[in-house]
Structure 1
């Protein structure tokens, strides 16, 4: 993430964070960042239409002038061309650049910004409801219209300093991670969301792409997609990123809109975007072709509650396993949902708490069934405290269908991290080590082990990682003679220091008032020597 993105998000958030909770102000900031991106992308598109493709864009003032001149000459033609190229058209009066200029002249009005939101939302299903969570009439922005104007004016100025096209990465995802990390480690938790750190996304993305790098088209599915960043990471590892089709579902409407913004920001057109706002477990989706995918990636809410109603025993996703995940812990329900939607040739990666590896009862039955069919390919233990909103250690489980073997690769990466102030961080070297171990699939002392099905069966299908990877480090034997010598040496040094201090005290010129204090100190020191 560029320093500018961090600095300006900080500046903008600083304006709002005294007025509302972080889970609210991130909606304003991310929505405005998205609107700015669309506005600035339109300015660039118009400039390129007039001057030919370029990577060297002039100042936005010149870009804006190009747009307004064309708009005044033939508004209908310009609108048609930009809508064809970008899928939307923002009127010159409603561009983010225009609002910023008005803010600098103290002429900005919130009603104009709301009109811009409304007009964009009318331009097809892709944008419908995207700004529903941005309430520009909220008294949290100010008790009256003038105060609310001032607040948003300051936010506009801060955000407009970000050059979104110079940012190398996942803008919405990086901004979301930064806001949660800096201002509200609990913001995601309050909203029922768990953001997947980029490092974990990269591990899952790289592993699920192995052997499928050249597949076109490539279909990826995330049934609990959050901001969509876990799906977007797959682009790093495929030969044809423009041939990726994204399928995702999200229960929380605010987060669902965030994912839509994120995919649009990354140039995903409507034909390659199949997203749904719904409850993944309660009602299966998608049910129409395609409903099975080359990669399934998931970071569901950990140990969430669900109905576990009897009707699910005849649901195609769960019926073959004979048991349902318990009402108090839906972890295996999410896993089986994802596994059902995986192609026979695909790979699935899911992040879950460690309890799924060893808990008994219904979960033990499901785990045994998965192991007997050879579905569990690898179990990767991650360090604790790498997720925002929870400090628990987690595991990445890799699943496949129709494997030739039923062995399981265990990787214990729980001790490999960089400790920072509030979070533990996985560095590129740690990620590379995990992926390399997955590819090699062999025993490495204190790090990885390939367990046969018979070994797992002997362990009653318990997949707790320490049963298979011994990371115990024996302490060096204690040399008692050396310790005794060191203690004697310390005692001699202490005696010498006390004697020196007593000599110094005897030489002091003291008053009657301090005499008693010095004598008492001597008694303590001498008493310590005779103990």
Structure 2
């Protein structure tokens, strides 16, 4: 399976590079992921329709023009809209379009047909339960863009080439036990993120960090009723949580960027998450929360670090913030995101959020909110320091805060300093498997280890005036070896003796040459 996965990832990345020279990373990401998604939908449609038609002894491609076409098509449409959430005609399948564009060894013009097919996929869901999940999914696939080529023929040539290459790849969707394609899709998203610079943080959390967050919120559980990410990006965090348990009944998320919102929905569907099991919204989470009345068993998030928000006084009457007495500053929304998540957390739930280190010690309104969470709520379960330069687009050190409303260890808070446990690869730092295992084991067992972890009693937190800066609790100071002054003195004397000998040698040479000595 690993070999198959690696092969598919490399094949897809090679095809992506067909577009690389034509446009910037963001654009060719949207095109290649969109085309892969279109092929996925087509293949799923074809496989499902063929299963329905098997008792009738015909294939999906044979329905159009069949004597009973109307009856067959009505049955397939109704079944597909319920099971898959969308519908495609046999003539609209990816393989048919790729074949049409590359027939007779000559590229035929298919841009118009392709645009109609993508629009029809979205329109097929109108008035159905899946409409919100498929609406405008292909909005970022602009087939008229000059980025694809100067002339219509140039654009068509490039698209036909990409579709033809993709058509040759077997997605192996008949193997229901495999998620190779979903993993390959994630791989591509990660590859694009690694080259996207500062903007990468807007849509992707590195898999190593996603892995840590997912394990933290699933400790002691093998099934979850719900998982929620208020800044879900491409959905990688939500999907990572699903890998840690046997079942997640429902996925919820909110994403402000429309392009990233589309990417998240595609990612969900590509991982075979049924449209009835996910609810992703395209809105500003702090200003216009879409799931505010719901509570979730697991919450994970990597919000934009120290983002700005309105901090409008009107929010003082918002249930998410009203109990705290103060709002997070407009220049730093970190605590606003945290408060939002706490509000959405179920009583039996766990949340894990990545934030900049400043939330641990900054004063003012943030210090007030931090104190309220610890003293009045007693929700904070653990503080974990991560290595610097671990996220795309920023080198700042970050931390993970783990919160629970019903804590088993109510009289203490666990501190872990994992900041020195990583591997450096080129310019990026990475958490290795052993680093992640050590971190998770320490959290599970709540163990104290010199220079790595400390279980702080609440009185220690109070004594530190609710400052959570990790070095106050985990002493990482490495004492230098004592200096042997006698040895140093002897070494200096030996150097003086050597220098005197050298000076005498130079003076002798100068005398022999009949020149003045340089000293």
Decide: shared fold, TM above 0.5.
yes
Deviation at 1:285, TM superposition (A): 2.4
Q: Which residue pairs with 2:128 in the alignment? A: none
Say which of 385, 390, 409 aligns to 2:389.
385
Say which of 453, 474, 480 aligns to 1:475.
480
Q: Which residue pairs with 1:135 in the alignment? A: 142
Q: Which residue pairs with 2:185 in the alignment? A: 172
- SS of the residue aligned with 1:186? helix
State the distance in 1 between where 2:356 and 2:463 align: 23
State the distance in 2 between where 1:72 and 1:199 align: 52
1:329 and 2:341 are equivalent in the alignment:
no
Q: Which residue pairs with 2:380 in the alignment? A: 376
State the distance in 1 between where 2:171 and 2:300 align: 27
Contact map agreement 1:12 1:155 (CA 8 A) in 2: yes
Q: How does 1:186-335 map to 2 (within 5 A)?
A: 186-188=198-200, 193-215=202-224, 218-241=225-248, 244-288=249-293, 291-335=294-338
Question: Closer, same or farther in 2 for the Cα pair 1:297/1:487, shift >3 Å?
Answer: farther
Question: Closer, same or farther in 2 for the Cα pair 1:480/1:293, shift >3 Å?
Answer: same
Deviation at 1:85, TM superposition (A): 3.5
Question: Closer, same or farther in 2 for the Cα pair 1:19/1:333, shift >3 Å?
Answer: same
Question: Closer, same or farther in 2 for the Cα pair 1:463/1:123, shift >3 Å?
Answer: same
Q: Which residue pairs with 1:461 in the alignment? A: 466
Once the two structures are superposed, residues 216-267 of structure 1 have per-residue CA deviations (whole angstroms, 9 ceiling, x without a partner) of xx111111111111111122222334xx211111111111111111111122
State the distance in 2 between where 1:134 and 1:162 align: 21
196-205 or 340-349: bigger deviation = 196-205
Q: Which residue pairs with 1:184 in the alignment? A: 196
State the distance in 2 between where 1:84 and 1:313 align: 43
Q: Which residue pairs with 1:96 in the alignment? A: 94
Contact map agreement 1:371 1:406 (CA 8 A) in 2: no
Say which of 152, 157, 174 aligns to 2:164.
157
- SS of the residue aligned with 1:294? strand
RMSD between aligned alpha carbons? 3.1
- SS of the residue aligned with 2:95? helix
Say which of 60, 71, 93 aligns to 1:67.
60
State the distance in 2 between where 1:85 and 1:71 align: 21
1:435 and 2:440 are equivalent in the alignment:
yes
Contact map agreement 1:305 1:329 (CA 8 A) in 2: yes
1:116 and 2:117 are equivalent in the alignment:
yes
Deviation at 1:176, TM superposition (A): 1.0
State the distance in 1 between where 2:282 and 2:321 align: 22
1:11 and 2:23 are equivalent in the alignment:
no
Deviation at 1:306, TM superposition (A): 0.5
Once the two structures are superposed, residues 94-144 of structure 1 have per-residue CA deviations (whole angstroms, 9 ceiling, x without a partner) of 222223223433125111111110110112213110001111101111111
State the distance in 2 between where 1:275 and 1:169 align: 18
Question: Closer, same or farther in 2 for the Cα pair 1:108/1:171, shift >3 Å?
Answer: farther
TM-score of the pair, normalised by structure 1 = 0.83
Q: Which residue pairs with 1:27 in the alignment? A: 30
Deviation at 1:326, TM superposition (A): 0.3
| Unpaired runs of at least 5, structure 2 | 126-130, 173-177
Deviation at 1:440, TM superposition (A): 0.7
Q: Which residue pairs with 1:107 in the alignment? A: 108
Question: Closer, same or farther in 2 for the Cα pair 1:328/1:99, shift >3 Å?
Answer: same
| Unpaired runs of at least 5, structure 1 | 53-64, 500-518
Question: Closer, same or farther in 2 for the Cα pair 1:16/1:239, shift >3 Å?
Answer: closer
Contact map agreement 2:213 2:352 (CA 8 A) in 1: yes
State the distance in 2 between where 1:374 and 1:467 align: 20
- SS of the residue aligned with 1:93? helix
Deviation at 1:400, TM superposition (A): 0.8
State the distance in 1 between where 2:49 and 2:485 align: 80
State the distance in 1 between where 2:493 and 2:395 align: 41
Deviation at 1:358, TM superposition (A): 0.5
Deviation at 1:275, TM superposition (A): 1.8
Runs of 4 or more above 6 Å deviation: 480-489
